[in-house]
Amino acid sequence: MRVGVMMFPTDTAIQPVALARAVEEHGFESLWFPEHSHIPVSRKSPWGGQPDAPPLPEMYWRTHDQFVALAAASTATSTLRLATGITLVAQRDPLWLAKEVASLDVLSGGRFLFGIGYGWNREEAEDHGIPFRHRREILREKVLAMRELWTKDVAEFHGTWVDFEPSWAWPKPEQRPHPPIVMGGGAGPKTFAHIAEFCQGWMPIYGRHGIDDAKLEQLGDALEAAGRPRDDVELGMFGVPPKPDVLVELAELGLARAVLALPPEGEEEIRARLARYAKVVDDAGITRD
């Protein structure tokens, strides 16, 4: 099982270049950055869409643009996988997003992982002109449109939410046909259908949604219906507690990746925390690669 870390890359914490260098030096496999374009002050949507959620932490509205931050991180590393955890695809223009994904993958030497999600903040999405109740179908169309741009010399797409004429768009991603697409968050039948249609991975949040036999059965059924093998999606988990017994349990479940959360702290604090996390991984008997 591979072990990575995630952190909100805020303007007040350790900056992306120093963070990426420290993460790679401590032997972790991947670095994941979340995103929010802004947080409306009205705060109508509870954190994560959970009715009893506590107040939203400040890091949610202080984060750098994830693609700019990951591009900076790529300049200071050579083996670290660089990942979005996650990109709010429905809120982004697919023509630009396809170019950002491909450019980052090329400039990093094929080290990008494209984590995606639907989003939970209604007012944030609506400020982008996105009807919140349609965000899932909008994400689907945008991903399918981006696949056309990544894989064809002349790409076009004609859908309900995305429509563009035959077009040239380069660069193409270093990884072929494109970087792995990883769906984040909990899943039901509709999300499993999307995973089966266009994803190579699924990573829910530890403790909130989890992975159990029933969900694996649903995922397997969706993959089979899409003409893919039942085990054709790589499983991982965000927000994994840094505890040896938890890592051992997840490895025994067959997860391919566990991502530990870092709070947005200064460089000295983060380096000390990474050293503790590395010891936890070692104590679990898991190779950091």
Compute CA 253 distance to the chain's CA centroid, rounded to the nearest angstrom: 21
Local mean pLDDT, 10-residue blocks, the chain (289 residues): 99 99 98 98 91 93 99 99 99 99 99 98 98 98 99 99 99 99 95 99 91 94 98 97 98 97 99 99 89
Q: Interior CA angle at 229 toward 84 and 142, to 5°?
A: 40
Compute CA 281 distance to the chain's CA centroid, rounded to the nearest angstrom: 21
The pLDDT, as a whole number, for residue 220 is: 97
Total number of domains in the chain? 1
Contacts of 188 (CB under 8 A, 6+ apart): 218
The secondary structure element, H or E, covering residue 67 is: helix 66-74
Structure tokens at 204: 């829910």
Structure tokens at 144: 């399918």
Q: Report how far apart, in Å, the C-alpha atoms of 205 and of each of 82, 129, 141, 267 are.
A: 19, 27, 24, 26
- CA-nearest of 276, 246, 251 to 263 is 276
* Cα separation, 162 vs 39, whole angstroms: 25
- DSSP labels for 79-119? S-EEEEEEEEGGGS-HHHHHHHHHHHHHHTTS-EEEEEE--
The pLDDT, as a whole number, for residue 289 is: 60
Q: Does residue 289 fall inside a structural domain? A: no
Structure tokens at 287: 């190779």
Structure tokens at 131: 């009807």
Question: Is residue 8 within 8 Å of 259, Cβ to Cβ?
Answer: no
* Cα separation, 64 vs 98, whole angstroms: 19
Q: What spatial distance separates the first Cα and last Cα of the chain, rounded to whole Å? A: 9
- CA-nearest of 209, 215, 200, 217 to 257 is 200
CATH number for position 266: 3.20.20.30
- 236: domain range? 2-284
Structure tokens at 129: 């002109």
Type of residue found at 159: G
- CA-nearest of 259, 205, 212, 202 to 232 is 202
* Cα separation, 232 vs 186, whole angstroms: 18
Strands 155-158 and 181-184, sheet pairing: unpaired
Q: Does residue 220 fall inside a structural domain? A: yes
Q: Does residue 37 fall inside a structural domain? A: yes
The pLDDT, as a whole number, for residue 202 is: 98
Q: Read off the pTM.
A: 0.97
* Cα separation, 18 vs 211, whole angstroms: 33
What are the phi and psi torsion angles at 284 (to 5°)? -80, -5
Q: Does residue 202 fall inside a structural domain? A: yes
Structure tokens at 75: 């300049």
